[in-house]
Amino acid sequence: MIEVHAFATPNSVKVLIALEELRLPYELKPVNVRRGEQKAEAFLALNSNGKVPVLVDDGFVLTESAAILVHLAEKTGKLLPQHGVGRARVFEQLFFHASGLSPAFGNAGFFKRASPEPQPIAEARFTTEGDRLLGLLDRKLASQSFVTGEEFTIADIAHFGWMWRIAFPGLSLDGRPNLSRWFDTVAARPAVELAIARVEAIVPAA
Ligand SMILES: N[C@@H](CCC(=O)N[C@@H](CS)C(=O)NCC(=O)O)C(=O)O
């Protein structure tokens, strides 16, 4: 049995989308990061890094959303080409996402919303970088349906997680027609709709 420890966050939703796309049954274990549950002792025993998501697959504990996506794709033989250029392109996008886009979006959001005091240079730096990366993806999607070509893969799932929460860093898809078209296409997939509904349902009413 698969367990996912997660909340309604950009990195968590990726894992639920992959599980729904792959039709793998799972139990969703809510970790309310707004209340700091990711720093509780029981959760730290699962992920000493104190962050969601965490996947537990038959006792095998795995952290890092990109690693989890690769694990699920390899387990099923889907959403990731088995070899060659197609597979390399997926890893290219996963690394670009994990080392570039995700930190830029996360830090832009932190300095805009959570910093104990205003840090205009840091906020501008990460916001400008996040927006530049949106432009990069928009240009790529001018000539192809998905981020690695004509097939929907785990790389699309990775990028979708943050695009779904694009308001947090104060960015937007306005003026990015290709990225907007891609976002609408991915958001309309039944598995994506199901995953979002499931993860939103664990957020307690304010
Ligand atoms: N590189 C990690 C990042 C995980 C991450 O930053 N998770 C956020 C939610 S999206 C979190 O748990 N934040 C709470 C915290 O850092 O205390 C991944 O891709 O899984």
Per-residue pLDDT of the chain (206 residues; tens, 9 = 90+): 999 999 999 999 999 999 999 999 999 999 999 999 999 999 999 999 999 999 999 999 999 999 999 999 999 999 999 999 999 999 999 999 999 999 999 999 999 999 999 999 999 999 999 999 999 999 999 999 999 999 999 999 999 999 999 999 999 999 999 999 999 999 999 999 999 999 999 999 97
What distance lies between CA 147 and its chain's CA centroid? 14
Instruction: List the chain domain ranges.
Output: 2-78+192-201, 84-189
DSSP tag of 47: -
Q: 52 CA to middle of ligand 1, Å?
A: 5
Q: Whose CA is closest to 25, among 47, 54, 4, 7?
A: 4
Q: 5 CA to middle of ligand 1, Å?
A: 12
Q: 187 CA to middle of ligand 1, Å?
A: 22
**Ligand 1 contact, 171 CB (< 6 A):** no
CATH of domain 84-189: 1.20.1050.10
Tell me how many degrees the CA angle 187-191-196 measures, rounded to the nearest 5: 65
Report the C-alpha gap between 124 and 68 in whole angstroms: 31
Residue nearest to atom 15 of ligand 1 (CA): 51
Q: 6 CA to middle of ligand 1, Å?
A: 10
**Ligand 1 contact, 149 CB (< 6 A):** no
Specify the pTM: 0.98
Q: 2-78+192-201: CATH homologous superfamily?
A: Glutaredoxin (3.40.30.10)
**Ligand 1 contact, 9 CB (< 6 A):** yes
**Ligand 1 contact, 148 CB (< 6 A):** no
Report the C-alpha gap between 94 and 191 in whole angstroms: 20
Give the model's pLDDT for residue 206. Answer: 78
Q: Which of 4, 5, 7, 11 to mutate to test the pocket of ligand 1 (most atoms within 8 A of CB)?
A: 11
What contacts 21, CB < 8 A, 6 or more positions away? 78, 79, 157, 189, 191, 192
What is the atom index within ligand 1 of the atom nearest the CA of 39? 17
